């Protein structure tokens, strides 16, 4: 099974990708993780990517594709994968298709998790992080016992800059502008499977499994948003 998992920030695609990884026995391949790992390992591609990242510039598509291509050629990805966070644009999708076609592969499905903006903003802007130990909380879904104090170490909790409501709204605007054409592209190819992203994680997982024809393989995993 070769899947692409799309969704705005805060839609839960990372959680679903990890659950699908266990279900389908194919690896989650997250472009952001690949970049961070390459930079940390100081590989040739990582050092090249770091040059752009240090300047605050976007890493070029060709470089990201090289990282993705190298990861998909590893033995555990030969029989399938779940791409998380890539592609993000139509040109990236077209280049990915050419890369897979050269290897005799093609995507089976593109799953797009949809969550209303107001819900996304509530999910992300409610996050709080401990200054001291890095523990994560959510003021609605997983609040600390004492306001703005970490349960584990009593450190002060803070809101990351990219979790602030204004920043989240801007991120959603960027996502909508770049991804809407991508959704239309995959819909024209007959690959798109829109999924309602509201509900418990096992409910959303069940919708995805049904959309990719794996709905009766096993009982849904337990969990919540």
Task: Specify the residue for token string 């644009």.
Answer: 89
Classify residue 142 by its DSSP letter: B
| 157-158 sheet: strands from edge to edge | 136-138, 127-130, 157-158
Structure-token pair, residue 145: 């016992």
Which residue numbers are catalytic?
13, 88, 127, 160, 171
148 contact partners, CB below 8 Å, separation of at least 6: 128, 156, 157
Distance, in Å, from the CA atom of 118 to the CA atom of 124, rounded to the nearest integer, reads 10
Q: Are 29 and 83 in contact (CB under 8 A)?
A: yes
Cis peptide preceding 167, ω within 30 of 0 = no
- Tell me the CA distances in angstroms from 222 to 1, 6, 24, 88, 97, one per residue in order: 23, 22, 16, 30, 34
For residue 137, how many other CB atoms are within 10 A of its CB?
19
């Amino acid at each position: 099974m070769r899947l692409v998992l799309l969704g705005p920030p805060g839609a839960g695609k990372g959680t679903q990708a990890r659950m699908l990884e266990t279900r389908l026995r194919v690896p989650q391949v997250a472009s952001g993780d690949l970049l961070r790992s390459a930079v940390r390992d100081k590989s040739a591609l990582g050092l090249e990517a770091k040059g752009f990242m240090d300047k605050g510039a976007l890493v070029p598509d060709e470089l990201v594709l090289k990282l993705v291509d190298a990861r998909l050629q590893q033995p555990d990805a030969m029989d399938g994968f779940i791409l998380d966070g890539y592609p993000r644009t139509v040109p990236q999708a077209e280049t990915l298709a050419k890369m897979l076609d050269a290897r005799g592969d093609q995507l089976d499905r593109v799953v797009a998790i949809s969550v209303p903006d107001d819900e996304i903003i509530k999910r992300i802007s409610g996050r709080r992080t401990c200054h001291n130990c890095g523990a994560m909380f959510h003021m609605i879904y997983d609040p600390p016992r004492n306001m703005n104090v970490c349960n584990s170490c009593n450190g002060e909790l803070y809101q990351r800059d990219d979790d602030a409501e204004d920043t989240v709204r801007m991120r959603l605007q960027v996502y909508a502008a770049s991804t809407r054409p991508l959704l239309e592209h995959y819909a024209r190819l007959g690959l798109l499977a829109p999924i309602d992203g509201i509900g418990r994680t096992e409910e959303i997982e069940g919708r995805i499994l049904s959309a990719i024809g794996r709905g009766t393989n096993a009982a849904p995993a337990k969990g919540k948003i």
